Structure 1
């Protein structure tokens, strides 16, 4: 079958996007949301007791994942994958799974790899590689498949940190014809290189998750990429104080957010890569003009460090994202248009900036990874931290909806858009670990309030929406959130076509299905 090509759309001929909140751009009315989980499950989870389900296909493999609710079970749906980072369902028992280190998009049918529709030459050093996948919201009528990946400059797969272009992270659209994926267009190129003067070369903090919102816009997250400029809330660049002389972020320029310094942001794009005029900084960018202004116009939120999970609430259309800390304050954020997440001046709630500074100046590397702005520069009071933020016109700071005092390394994120596991789980948000060694790979579950804007908690210790765990990678005060264990490093969580919960494990090279017994 020949490849179906999609004619490029001239943005100048498209009708203008309505402002956010207008009838054409607003998400559909929210569905009624359940607000409380079952008392029995809470009591069970609070004990920290892992209930291993035996018999039948569930947990048949020794050492496999387990669920705390005895009414839920886990079965292995797919095995034999290589470093899988994302999945997208085409239909019943039919999905794409992307592989970080091989650059392959695998088609999995009935639990078996049935073919490789696309094989990209990726640079997979550190956290680079083939990182994100999203299907067009009208798929398959619109056969667009969107991928976030890091390009190798060698023409073959590479794990050498220097073998990528400066703008080596890219988001591309491919067209699915039923058997192959054909390149259609590049939407955006994002910085990948971290070769800074006086700094070791690194390949981490690329972000890479993609998701289409209910507004039919493509949300793209990229981590801070080691940058220390205005989008990291350093108005004068990597200096201790500001006002003062403006210092370039690196040998390539900055601290202004031009193309080479676009990082630590969530972008909001049209499906063809053009910029919606309803974006929160569209007018501000138009006034700035030039490359910096055009870059700012694409931003939905900024001031983020790094993360591996982003998901759209099917009830409300809200976009949620987890954010990894250095040694302190992992976060769960509900993104808002124009949000400034506070990084690098703030991690966790701004009211706890003293704890942020204490941990980062006394534990681990004590350098926030980058030597150009040491943690000794962190403010000594919430007021000072807020005053230091770089605020684009119309921006606002928001505390996370939930956080952990010490980093717990969160991973993939996803909502259950189904009653298949029981009505008490419908609409809940699930989050896995980014490191398989963390409690064997935890699986957390978050119940949201009726309006879907906050995390509902039952443990009185979590009334402040902060888990005061005792050490890095330790989960004290998260016992009521723990719903499963031993999933390894989780890179994606989705509702499958049957209404069950699909969990993708990078370390185990597997897709697990959580179902009701």
Structure 2
């Protein structure tokens, strides 16, 4: 099912100049996102899947939040390659995002974000046929039963970007010394990356509530999805050193101290988790909203009205990933305790255009 959605607040923004739904733009020719269709089912029977990362050979790794396992999908077959030690699942915590080293062919490294006994942390492990022992490279990220963040993405600069949550303590987001409520930028060994806004500090941006989606466009711009509290969920264009407002503001506020999101949605329509960039569009997997949002962008700006697909068809959607062949992989998340599992859940669907 495809539903073209234009929030009433968009019309308000265009006619009155207020920005109460989607950031106002000059009226003109705008892009319409392409329509995805389900081409095949890649995998079924997954337990609370959370993250996906592709290996150079085209196979994919998938993390399961509560089982602590990483699985590999190759040629339609799902196998378990290892269990990550030190993961302590609970609430929204557990084994979260994955990333594959840009130099995997030589270093064989896989990165994972997970909740441990006292904190959230990022570790790296070698992978040949099985997982090696984890080496923790970032620790001390605040943890709680909620708002643990957890997405990883290597940028075109070779640095690792890490999304964190405020761990239910909103003051973390505005505290430059806390790793919570931030997007971090680190070297492959976990040190603060050269060129960060504050030398020696891992922080890339601040003022976030709970970021669970990171994706780069073809020009290296970073987009992030963010859970709101009771009013607005967000899609943001991330700029180095900028403040995204939480907990002072939620959604578009036109406050010069903070960055407005590109798009905001009522929380009932989104609860955005993983995102992907493809075909001049940011694709946003939505949990509570149970739909896949498509946000057309051009040069980092909104280039049309967001539309949504599969509204309620597959239940809660945790992650969308661009596959090496140009398709999108869409991950359901109905077995995490908040959804209603359907036969074969959880599953990964392959979308084509």
TM-score clears 0.5: yes
Residues 300/74 of structure 1: CA separation in 2 closer, same or farther (3 Å cut) = same
Matched, 1:302 2:206: yes
C-alpha deviation, 1:344, in angstroms:
0.5
The Cα offsets for residues 363-400 of structure 1, whole Å up to 9 and x where unpaired, read as xxxxxxxxxxxxxxxxxxx5xxx6xxxxxxxxx63111
**What is the 5 A alignment of 1:381-400?**
397-400=258-261
Distance 1:69 1:106 in 2: 31
Equivalent pairs, count: 315
1:57 aligned partner: none
1:455 aligned partner: 302
Q: TM-score, normalised by structure 1?
A: 0.57
2:89 aligned partner: 124
Distance 2:294 2:132 in 1: 37
C-alpha deviation, 1:308, in angstroms:
1.9
Q: List gaps (5 residues or longer) in structure 2.
A: 7-32, 335-344
Distance 2:286 2:4 in 1: 19
Matched, 1:430 2:283: yes
Distance 2:36 2:136 in 1: 46
Distance 1:269 1:144 in 2: 15
Moved over 4 A (4+): 68-71
Distance 2:331 2:248 in 1: 33
Matched, 1:415 2:277: yes
Q: TM-score, normalised by structure 2?
A: 0.82
Q: List gaps (5 residues or longer) in structure 1.
A: 1-40, 49-67, 152-163, 195-202, 234-255, 283-293, 352-381, 387-395, 417-425, 459-479
RMSD: 2.4
**What is the 5 A alignment of 1:73-92?**
73-91=38-56
Do 1:118 and 1:180's aligned partners in 2 also have CA atoms closer than 8 Å?
no
Larger Rg: 1
**What is the 5 A alignment of 1:37-48?**
45-46=3-4
2:243 to 336, 340, 347: 340
C-alpha deviation, 1:509, in angstroms:
1.5
Distance 2:206 2:239 in 1: 10
Matched, 1:102 2:67: yes
C-alpha deviation, 1:505, in angstroms:
1.5
1:444 aligned partner: 293
Distance 1:73 1:303 in 2: 36
The Cα offsets for residues 335-365 of structure 1, whole Å up to 9 and x where unpaired, read as 00001001110111114xxxxxxxxxxxxxx
2:105 aligned partner: 140
Return the structure number with greater strand share: 2
